[in-house]
A and B are shown apart, each in its own frame.
Chain A
């Protein structure tokens, strides 16, 4: 099985490890760690020590508590009880920051790689600055990538990487800080043989230099290759620790299996049934390949394997929810996989995201798939619906206050029964149950097994995916075991026992070599199309072409007067749009930009008047800044700490600020000091000085966005909040500061607006909310967050102003002003989303 070279390496490790293992200093000591989620214990009284200079593997079945343990060591979660000791000193509270300071690095099973940031930026936002000090950053970054032989351009965006490449990047990041403790959570799940070999070489190197490596795995073969010591977890408890060299596979298997499951199973089907009701042949799709099996009448088929080996995808394909190739014969009819969508009933593993509609009642949830059956000519008969749902709930023994109870008020087990009731009411030809007892209490489990058995006995084939091998042993007549998307074992009859299932899953040695292809070489052109600033050039060309068109219609269009006019107008809009770019980058929105601008002008109109002292005028400007600061802070705090959506928070702010403006003035009044106006409108040639300031601001912002940590944090937060938090970005602070930044930029725009209208008018400014959003979108910033450009925003503002101006200039009616504006924004959005969509699709 293993190549001679690997065997040799294996032996060297063994030989080398024999000496340091005994005397190595303890680096981390866990004592009595317990942790439960909503009353369900994930870890109970776990005590382990991790020594410097060795690889300590943590082995266990799905749900044994491995990932929880890692999260506790990395500070991502706090234990309910127990203590952590690091190098002999007790750590009072382990947070991600403390962990990082102590030199604990973690490579997550789901890589914390941000899709909207480049490889370079992903490295720089996650790694401490001192790593990049003193040398060109590109050089450092290249070195980091080379440690894992990852060959991708530094400017490649995260979303262009394959899963394997992301995993390599994740590992390289963890290695880069030269950690004292390196935690690797299932690192090889998506790696091919070459990458796995490189990883193992690196692990041996860091171990040599004294690092303690904690290696989580499901695979016994890997354990033999790399680990010195192994600890087995089962049901959140330590089953035992041993030196790898001194323990046999049999012993380890014995420690892994034997989960206690406090429920009974219904009797199985008679083994001698030849009547095949479901026959699946050579089914292939994303993450699973050439899966074939047969289900006889009355049989329940189990799908087993280590989590993430294609079971979920197979289940979705069997329910017709995911594209797949192959043939399916169901009840004698040959079907294409997508035909299953309306014949199969799917019970998803994640009840809350895909199973139940949280806001609806138990009845509504149960009835949703079979409304047509209760209806006469489109009208649902309440009597029939209630009767059918009540009958189904009765048969499944659903416990609820009434059938109208909100579905979330039910217990987990009863929620799952509602999902089953929905499946049964739709009278399916096939039931696909993904983790049907996940989060279900013991009593309800037995009932769910009973129901599945009854359904199957009536001739509807049932397929169950479970990460719990004991459950499969008790429930299923036949089990297929998947590893990396391939069926590695088919167990039937008396072979369906936990030990056989687990052995097949953890001993499989198939590697991902052929399942995950390397990405095509990244072309230079694609990276240009992919950059956030890609829209600037076409936008500039459109602006130029439009200007020439205006000139051809009327030579005065490019006169100094009109140029100044356009640039002055676009400067105010430009500042508002720059401000609006920040929340959009964060994946939010600020509707209060317009009213805030108007309000600040009204405030100014009390101080910055003719004949006021310099002090009063300065006070006016200061008050504008203070007002903006207050508005931005309130927006940010409402969104982050009061659980308002950005729309709701800034909408309330919109209305409130407008009220404040009217409170200060009920009509236009307070003429602005003409010297101040003149100063603001100062020009160099036909170009207003302020426009240069706008450009400078945009360029500064652009540089900050690409080169400064705060810029990366901003984009990281907008790109994926959870990942950003995992890599140590202070998400709350970033967002609050972002909204404050918006308000301050709005204040700059308000200064321009003040010079334009020259008077405090509570009715002015409001329209800038929508036009600022329009300008930002024209500029190419995505509303999904994470991607955007300040430079594009300025061009967007310029283009919008130009369009409005040209319509008036060549004598078209206002109709065209609106039509052009609308067509422009829709066209831009469609173009941007197709370009991005296509670029993203190339990787599928």
Chain B
């Protein structure tokens, strides 16, 4: 199983092939479309991260000692970024998720989506992924 860092490097490599924002966004939109959907039973208000504009649902489940995330959004670009985050963070040990950084988002040219003042709920989403990790880490102990 690849580490979070390895996967992030892989994603950076993929994005380095693109020359301009159009290609990056087209790729992200493709990723968004292929994001495995969250099971409908988990698309609840409890799992909803309220950004100002697009909705984001995240669900976490522990499988053995690893945390598996599923998520969805009503906006496709948001979904693309979620797909990237989930690829990096899902199926990893809670402690590794807690320790991981998200600088790779800058490196693939999507920094603007992670500004805390941008109303898309993504900063809250990363926070939520980490909170799940903290909660399950406590449970594992």
Physical interaction between A and B: no
Residues of chain A touching chain B, judged by Cβ–Cβ distance below 8 Å, are none
Interface residues of B (CB under 8 A from A): none
